[in-house]
Amino acid sequence: MADDAFTPDWLALRERVDHRSRPTALLRPLRAAWHAREWSRVLDLGSGTGSNLRYLASRLPGRQEWTLVDHDPDLLDRVHGPDPVPSDPGSSDAAGSALPVHRVVGDLAEEGLARVGEAHLVTASALLDLVTREWLTALVERCQEAKCGALLALSYDGTIVWSPPEDPDDAWVQEMVNAHQRREKGLGPALGPTAPHLAEALFQEQDFHTWLVPSPWHLGPGDLALARALVEGWIHAVAEQAPSGASRVQGWGERRLQALARGDVGLTVGHLDLLALPADPGAG
Ligand SMILES: C[S@@+](CC[C@H](N)C(=O)[O-])C[C@H]1O[C@@H](n2cnc3c(N)ncnc32)[C@H](O)[C@@H]1O
């Protein structure tokens, strides 16, 4: 979650947990719209190495063509195809066939927005907390013009809950992390945890039907590497946000890392998934 956290290793570490955390409840209305409107073209913004492609492609019916936009060419070079979900009755044969995937090295504000008009479904995962109100407003306007759907998954919602025992500095760390989330992340002052609710409101203003559903990470003993990386990222973020609290957060981090190593604690990190579909069933 720190600025420099988008390494291939970090994205690989979170992918398994991301996929198991995504709510299947959104798939039914998405598949229905996809089928009824004969959609096929997906635009994945801030795609990284393609985790969202690997989750979603095999869960959508029929023919698909994906465009992945990211400003990091190294991440795009590592994109690989979707995993089949053979037991899923809604899955397509897209996973087993040659799925066209176009990789675009570009910025969200330029190439990203410019491609919305060609898409039937715009999607992003683990992205919204980084963007600005201006960018999000522009995205929703482009979606309205294109009459395309949007699936914005795994947006951090500001919630960090440790299962017992509590540490006296948990609340302070959460507050500092959430303040750090609102800092500049490349596009301007970031929306951080306010993004998913604002996105829903903006889509509703444009008469989209919306579904906003929790997609929390529940981290247990099997997720130690991810939990460790999170704590280390939070130590870094809090030290940046509150330099006078650097030793305090270091102490908190040591206690939390020890508790994680002992298997003493559980950790829940709140996320939200938003599906927004254009109201006119004949559109698109
Ligand atoms: C948290 S990662 C999520 C990656 C991927 N969607 C996933 O779920 O694994 C955020 C991604 O957004 C990309 N990104 C951040 N700011 C960007 C910008 N201004 N333009 C294009 N890509 C950007 C990063 O390179 C990174 O791949």
Q: Say if ligand 1 is within 6 A of residue 70 CB.
A: yes
Collapsed DSSP state (helix, strand, coil) of residue 270:
strand
DSSP code of residue 136: H
Q: Which atom belonging to ligand 1 lies closest to the Cα atom of 72?
A: 25
Say whether pLDDT at 20 is over 70.
Answer: yes
Which structural domain, as residue segments, surrounds residue 133?
8-158+189-217+270-277
Query: Quick check: is 111 in a domain?
Result: yes
Query: Quick check: is 213 in a domain?
Result: yes
Give the model's pLDDT for residue 4.
Answer: 52
The model's pLDDT over 163-206, given as tens digits with 9 standing for 90+, comes to 987 899 999 999 999 999 998 888 889 999 999 999 999 999 99
Identify the sign of the CA torsion 245, 247, 251, 253.
positive
Residue closest to 139 by CA, chosen among 154, 157, 158, 124 = 124
Contact (Cβ atoms closer than 8 angstroms) between residue 164 and residue 154: no
Query: Quick check: is 176 in a domain?
Result: no
Q: What is the 273 CA–ligand 1 centroid distance (Å)?
A: 16
Query: Quick check: is 234 in a domain?
Result: no
Query: Quick check: is 257 in a domain?
Result: no
CA distance 167 to 123: 37
Q: What is the CATH number of the domain that holds 54?
A: 3.40.50.150
Residue closest to 3 by CA, chosen among 247, 271, 240 = 240
Query: Quick check: is 244 in a domain?
Result: no
Average pLDDT over residues 10-24: 97
Tokens of 240: 């940046």
Q: What is the 13 CA–ligand 1 centroid distance (Å)?
A: 15
Say whether pLDDT at 47 is over 80.
Answer: yes
Q: Say if ligand 1 is within 6 A of residue 223 CB.
A: no
Query: Quick check: is 85 in a domain?
Result: yes
Query: Which residues on adjacent β-strands are paired with residue 162?
Result: 267
What average pLDDT is seen over the chain?
91
Q: What is the 265 CA–ligand 1 centroid distance (Å)?
A: 30
Average pLDDT over residues 209-237: 96
Give the angle 99-96-61 at the CA atoms, nearest 5°: 70
Contact (Cβ atoms closer than 8 angstroms) between residue 126 and residue 91: no
Collapsed DSSP state (helix, strand, coil) of residue 138:
helix
Give the list of residues 6+ apart from residue 168 with CB closer than 8 angstroms, or none: none
Q: Which atom belonging to ligand 1 lies closest to the Cα atom of 185?
A: 16
Number of compact structural domains in the chain: 1
Give the model's pLDDT for residue 84.
Answer: 52
Give the model's pLDDT for residue 83.
Answer: 55
Q: What is the 249 CA–ligand 1 centroid distance (Å)?
A: 27
Q: Which of 4, 16, 44, 47 to mutate to test the pocket of ligand 1 (most atoms within 8 A of CB)?
A: 47
Q: Say if ligand 1 is within 6 A of residue 107 CB.
A: yes
Backbone angles phi, psi at 155, to 5 degrees: -85, 125
Determine the number of helices (DSSP H) and then strands (DSSP E) in the chain: 10, 8
Q: Say if ligand 1 is within 6 A of residue 72 CB.
A: yes
Query: Quick check: is 21 in a domain?
Result: yes
Tokens of 153: 């998954």
Q: Say if ligand 1 is within 6 A of residue 54 CB.
A: no
The model's pTM is 0.92
Contact (Cβ atoms closer than 8 angstroms) between residue 130 and residue 189: no
CA distance 195 to 202: 10
Q: What is the 114 CA–ligand 1 centroid distance (Å)?
A: 17
Residue closest to 119 by CA, chosen among 151, 154, 143, 139 = 143
